[in-house]
Amino acid sequence: MTTLRGRWRLLRADPTLDFAPGVRMAFVDDDTLHYSFEVGSARQLVELRYRVDGDLLRTEVPGTTHEATARFEFGPGDALVLDFAGARAWFVREVDSSLPPHGSG
C-alpha cells in the first residue's frame, strides 16, 4: 500500500492552481504536514494539520479557519495526484536522504 508519509515535490500543476515556485510537502507524522515553497532566494515553511477521509486529503492551518480539501490518488511511478475540483497537481516522492530538511537553505 502506498502512503502519503514522506517528502513530495511538485512536478506540475494545472495553471489555475497558481502554485508558488518550488512547492514541497512533507507528511511527517499522522497529522502534521510541512508545506514549503520558494520566496525569492529563501524557502517559506507552513505547518499544516491534515487528515485523510477515504480518498480525501483535508488540510487546515492551525489556529485559523483556513481549510482545503482535495481528492488524491497514486498514479504511475507512485506519483501523488491531488484533484482540487477538477484542477490537478502531480507530486513525485523525494527519496534522496542527502537533501536538506524542508524550511532550511
Write out the DSSP string of 42-75: EEEEEEEEEEEETTEEEEE-TTSS-EEEEEEEE-
CATH number of the domain to which 15 belongs: 2.40.128.280
Inter-residue contact 89 to 82 (CB < 8 Å):
yes
Inter-residue contact 97 to 30 (CB < 8 Å):
no
Provide the whole-model pTM.
0.84
Question: Per residue in 53-70, pLDDT tens?
Answer: 999 999 999 988 889 999
Domain extent at residue 12: 6-94
pLDDT of residue 105: 45
Residue at 100 is within a domain: no
CA atoms within 13 A on the CB side of 57: 22
Residue at 102 is within a domain: no
